[in-house]
Structure 1
């Protein structure tokens, strides 16, 4: 399963994907993508993910995933897949660590609320594009340049890891090869993300008492199969250990399938270089038809039984009220913004600046503003 011929090199200054907007000398002992990984993990926006909801807010328990702990789980899966396929592990890990950095508070509910508020002004909020704004402009750590000055390969992956953008709709993204597929290192991030959150959300949903074990087993075939094997192999084990083992088996089965199916598709297409990956009409990273059907089944079950549960919907309603209410307040009265943001209103317009400000907040920080309004 060695796809190293199709991998991003990243080992020297001759690779165009290691180029930076502001040229820098090569590091003595770290590759360009290793340096990017360090820049991401030391960024304020990375740390703030600890205070942002994944599915459950921290009022339930400190044991539930935050946006940050979810990101760390994604990075482990993604790096495993990249290593098994012979891809560039440093680039893959960096893309996993940065993939959710543009999310606003309150998880996907916060993103939907912020996007709805922006659409009232003929604009949109897209967390991938906001992540690019963060690393290019908002993170201020270096005297020599604005932003983190990440490599072109990482910035392309931020934009394209989960979807394709049309050049006609986004001329500002012209530098990111919108007419081509992203490298395999970027392609696999979205499925690593899915594998991470499907298993984690089952775990957290059961822990919260919203999901019931036998109901999950009845409706999620891959989990039931994994749980049955745990019962057969460890008949005297405590129920919580059977659950943990079943979730690990489910995660491993999906991850292994992603590795095998991606390698199979690349081989069958005769792709032997990064250029051939880029020019292929479809993305290669994929699950097999059988596992893809089980992934969809698990996702549909969670949408029907967890994401629309009374507790989660209460969080969604709060997100809509808080995000939408503060957005409207600050758009009408941008002078209430911190000076650093107010100074950008004349250039970018108050809706975009307010969205940028809200998107950077943690759950607790935006709730503090809501209480004080």
Structure 2
């Protein structure tokens, strides 16, 4: 099996599930990081694996931290992972990386909405609840990485926590009819979608001209709900341009308007193979919330993903808390109403790349990431 640099690894791969974070376009979105596309090829020259590596240079040094968000895209079921990872690590050392972080795109544990609704309570967390399913591949890969010296971020030992969400929310779409998806919504969700329709809320697939309205509503939501993404309007404009330049429809903006006023706006991302859609982020106004624009918008986005043949609608991160008195639980409660699953991903793993100096640099980078 050959290991080569170059964008061809992506253009010809046909590798199945690939996160938007592992496409060449994402490297062009991330200012402050250098990006490199890498590929694995079989004896016939056919692509069998691919990766986008982001490099963060340390100020004043010719050394970098290598990061593969939700990657690499390889055969994680292979019994000999070193056959895949060894050439990658050799390349990273050649590029001057002192440490690497990767995020295998694998599920580890899964909880159905009904299971977690029944388990809410003071001080409760998702991890306290017996999962409905433990994914055998995720568990096996975790053991193989530990045995090879990798350390999972956030575990004991000082590693910074995951950059990507450990817990995500997925709605399965494959094999389900629109009627089954509708029935899977909670009564409250169905009531709110109907309320929006009766009030005359209109949902639309919008273009980049509406990104300033989206960003303004995102700021309103950040202040109301007490979180901060720290993303500028220019960031979302660059993301929209770069992802859609790679493939039209890879990033979309949906808006919900009432009496011609945009009350909610959400971004939707599409995987290269169309099998997965992600609700990335969204905002809504403080006023007219009784017409439920966000519920109407999400139902439109779920329905569009289903109509285009997606297998999964991914609502991205949820907090681990199941305590109704914890403010972050409101987001989990809202997503649970769609009837999907909370999924614990395998998480992100780090490895220093040889030598005491590299280990020291790795510890310094961990502290930097923890502060961020």
* TM-score (structure 1 length as normaliser): 0.24
Instruction: Answer 1 or 2: which has greater helix percent.
Output: 1
* TM-score (structure 2 length as normaliser): 0.25
